[in-house]
Amino acid sequence: MSKEGPVKIKFYCGENIPLELHKVRIVQKLNLVPIERRLEALYEGGFNTFRLSTRDVFLDMLTDSGTNAMSDMQLSAMMHADDAYAGSQSFFRLHTAVKEVLKKEYLLPVHQGRAAENILAKAYIKKKGDLIPMNYHFTTALAHITQYGGRIVELLYDEAYNIQSSHPFKGNLNVEKLEEVIKETGVENIPFIRMEASTNLIGGQPFSIANMRAVRAIADKYGIRIVLDASLLGENAYLVIQREPEFRDASMAEVIGIMTGLSDIVYFSARKLSSSRGGGICTSDLKIYRELESLVPLFEGFLTYGGISVREIESMAVGLYETLDETMISQSPDFIAYLVNTLMANGVPMVTPPGVLGAHVNAMQVCSHIPQTQYPAGSLAAAFFLVSGVRGMERGSISNQRDEEGNETYADMELLRLAVPRRVFTLSQIKYVADRMIWLNENRHLIGGLRFIYEPAVLRFFMGGLEPVSDWPQKLIAKFKEDFGDSL
């Protein structure tokens, strides 16, 4: 195995600083509005960070979806897009990238990741109660599976639920439990096994190739297909190189090829995987391609554009090749590790080991005085926006959906995710985030709970509205003024 160039750069002072291996050539001005305006914005947006206007947001750490910085190569590729309803050259360039990077023969383009989930659920969940075993759910994947009458079972090892851990692969799928579930449920009731690269909702935690090989062996034994959610595949591959001794000297291309080679179907959100927009479903199995093919024109668009603009298709193709560049992929995980380590060193409880896509604060511990019925992670997200202008995302019980009887299902983990999109923030901005979070953690007793005032039936976390259960935001502002004076 071979690989190009080392990524680590040592500093003479001995400090471990993640050094940017890119330069900034286009910038966007940011505003940091006063804390009083931030409070108004919270009331206007129902204390839900999804509903804030970016006019009021300083650092947008909501997500890395569609917010990674694009490269000069991606932007320039957009200029030579071939506008055509059918047979566009842009599609053929993307198809070549899929063959070369993801090593799959067939590609079905879709407008984003959840569109792929919709098509897969529609095609394969044939009867009520069909079961999809997976390492862990993602919100949109779960919503589509249940929408078509399916169920899921999450099969992580116990260590994955241990928020502070040194286990390198908390996203591993529990193969012993997988076999038990298959025997109990019956192969005929399991349309596929879903593996999510860099398992999002447990803190962006990867699985190992050894684990995936073991899952493949069971899938082969029982004749069940493996579907890989590759939205965060690049980061999972990077952490395999960092943490799995067998792959220490492997290249990104080799590791990505092994992971997709172990899967029957690969789908992705290109908003994440290739720092562009769009998504795709890929396979090398013509039978599978045929099973899915007709659903693309039905839900998305013709097979050579899939609801995506041709300009985005061009940037997706270039972005896929750039996924193989370790200096590009490493930037976000290395910044995240820096942020997590700084916060941990200052007493803020974080998900460890540091994962990908964002730093995850353990809201259950920071807000241990707030019961889960009052949404500790949502409360922390609102409080952090108030004191910093930084917008994170609640990944806890608000992000869960109610069960069939309408009861709350409380999340295993109450997390505040501070996303670090690729090549977007500078290190001083990351230091600002750490500074304000350290202050908030030291004043955590001032944070109070939230309650719903408007609760949509599906994916409630996107548009739901909440309000504080007391005047805690006003008390938090008073303490902020005491400590920071007239600083923004």
Ligand X SMILES: Cc1ncc(COP(=O)(O)O)c(C=O)c1O
What residues act catalytically? 85, 138-139, 229, 272, 395, 461
Segment contacting ligand X by CB under 6 A, of 44-52, 129-137, 268-276, 459-467? 268-276
Contact of 310 with 81, CB cutoff 8 Å: yes
Query: C-beta of 445: minimal distance to ligand X in Å?
Result: 33
Interaction of residue 392 with ligand X, rule CB under 6 A: no
CB of 381 to ligand X, least distance (A): 16
Q: Name which position in 133, 206, 234, 279 contacts ligand X (CB under 6 A).
A: 279
Q: Assess 254 for contact with ligand X (CB under 6 A).
A: no
Binders of ligand X among residues 424 to 443 (CB under 6 A) are none
How wide is the angle at C-alpha 108 spanned by C-alphas 118 and 297, nearest 5°? 70
Interaction between residue 395 and ligand X (CB under 6 A): no
Nearer to ligand X, 272 or 460 (CB): 272
Query: Would the CA dihedral through 36, 41, 44, 48 be positive or negative?
Result: negative
Stretch that binds ligand X, among 2-10, 83-91, 227-235, 333-341 (CB under 6 A): 227-235
Check: CB of residue 142 under 8 Å from CB of residue 402.
no
In the block, tokens 């914005």 appear at 41
Q: What is the DSSP string of 40-71?
A: HHHHHTTT-GGG--GGG-SSB-S-STTTSPPP
The correct pick among 90, 205, 231, 332 for binding ligand X (CB under 6 A) is 231
By beta-carbon proximity to ligand X, the closer residue of 196 and 322 is 196
Cα Rg for the chain, rounded, in angstroms? 22
User: Considering only residues 68, 74, 90, 269, which one is a binding residue for ligand X as defined by CB under 6 A?
Assistant: 269
Give the Cα separation of 292 and 122 in Å (integer): 9
> In the complex with ligand X, which residue's Cβ is closer, 64 or 130?
64
Amino acid letter, 297: P
- Which residue of 229, 312, 334, 412 would you call a contact of ligand X, by CB under 6 A? 229
Least Å from the CB of residue 343 to ligand X: 22
| Residue 246: C-alpha distances to residues 8, 210, 353 (Å) | 19, 9, 20
Amino acid symbol at 309: S
Neighbouring C-alpha atoms within 13 Å toward the C-beta of 192: 23
Q: Which of 47, 58, 138, 238 binds ligand X (CB under 6 A)?
A: 138
Pairing of strands 358-362, 393-395: unpaired
Choose which of 65, 185, 327, 443 interacts with ligand X (CB under 6 A).
65
Tell whether residue 283 is a contact of ligand X (CB under 6 A): no
Q: Which residue from 420, 421, 418, 399 is spatially nearest to 410, judged by alpha carbons?
A: 399
For ligand X, give the closer residue by CB, 62 or 178: 62
Nearer to ligand X, 421 or 473 (CB): 421
Q: How far is the CB of 61 from ligand X (least distance, A)?
A: 14
CB of residue 1 to ligand X, shortest distance in Å: 27
Residues 186-215 within binding reach of ligand X (CB under 6 A): 196, 200
Residues 16-36 as b/e (b if ≥16 CB within 10 A, e otherwise) read eebeeeeeeeeeeeeebeebe
Residues 2-41 contacting ligand X, CB under 6 A: none
- The vertex-380 CA angle with 195 and 353, nearest 5°, equals 40
Q: Please, which residue, 376 or 421, has the CB nearer to ligand X? A: 421
Stretch that binds ligand X, among 13-21, 107-115, 218-226, 470-478 (CB under 6 A): 107-115
**How many secondary structure helices (H) and strands (E) does the chain include?**
20, 12
**Interacting span for ligand X (CB under 6 A) from 121-129, 208-216, 225-233, 290-298:** 225-233
| Sole binder of ligand X in the list 112, 172, 275, 284 (CB under 6 A) | 112
CB of 279 to ligand X, least distance (A): 5
Least distance to ligand X from the beta carbon of 361, Å?
18
Give 132's strand partners: 152
Edge-to-edge strands, sheet with 358-362? 358-362, 415-419, 393-395
For tokens 């590790």, the residue is 337
Partners of 110 in beta bridges: 279
Other beta carbons less than 10 A from residue 194's beta carbon: 25
User: Minimum Å distance from CB 253 to ligand X?
Assistant: 22
Bond into 168 cis (ω within 30) = no
Number of residues that bind ligand X (CB under 6 A): 15
State which of residues 38, 114, 216, 422 lies at the interface with ligand X (CB under 6 A): 114
Q: Does 300 bind ligand X (CB under 6 A)?
A: no
Q: Is 113 in the site for ligand X (CB under 6 A)?
A: yes
Among the listed ranges 96-104, 228-236, 296-304, 468-476, the one in contact with ligand X (CB under 6 A) is 228-236
Strand partners, 282: 107, 266
Chosen residue from 271, 395, 417, 460 binding ligand X by CB under 6 A: 271
- Residue closest to ligand X when measured from CB atoms: 113
Q: Are residues 406 and 347 in contact, defined by beta-carbon separation less than 8 angstroms?
A: no
What SS3 state is found at 71?
coil
**Minimum Å distance from CB 118 to ligand X?**
9
Place of tokens 């909501």: 62
Question: Are the CB atoms for 382 and 472 separated by under 8 Å?
Answer: no
Q: In angstroms, rounded to a whole number, what is the distance separating the alpha carbons of residues 32 and 436?
A: 13
Which residues contribute to the site for ligand X (CB under 6 A)? 65, 112-114, 138, 140, 196, 200, 229, 231-232, 269, 271-272, 279
